[in-house]
Amino acid sequence: MLMTRSNLERLEWYETIERMIGRCLPKKIVLLGFVWVKLNSDPFVLGVAVVTMMLIAIGEQLFLGSKKQKQVVHLSQDNEHHH
C-alpha cells in the first residue's frame, strides 16, 4: 500500500480515535457497572447523588454569574471615572 498524505492522515486519525477509546472505554464500563449495581441495590443513594450534583452545578453557575456581573459593573465604573 502506497502511503500518500491522505492515507497517512487517515491512519493518524484512526490511531488517535483508538487511543481515546482505549483510555476512556474501560473507565466508562466500570462507571456504568457501579451505577447499575447501585441502582439495583440502593437507588436512593444515586438519587441523592444526582440531586446534589445538580445543586452544585446550579450554585456554581449562580456564583460565576454574580462574579461576572460584579466584574462588568466594576469595569463600567472604572470607565466612568476615567472620562
Instruction: Quote the pLDDT of residue 2.
Output: 61
Which residues in 67-80 are b (16+ Cβ under 10 Å) and which e?
Answer: eeeeeeeeeeeeee
Instruction: Quote the pLDDT of residue 48.
Output: 94
> Which whole number is the average pLDDT over 34-62?
93
Residue 82 has pLDDT above 60, yes or no: no
> Which whole number is the average pLDDT over 15-44?
83
Rg (CA), the chain: 24
Instruction: Quote the pLDDT of residue 53.
Output: 96
56 — pLDDT class (breaks 50, 70, 90): very high
Phi-psi region of 38 (alpha: psi -120 to 50; beta: other; left: phi over 0): alpha
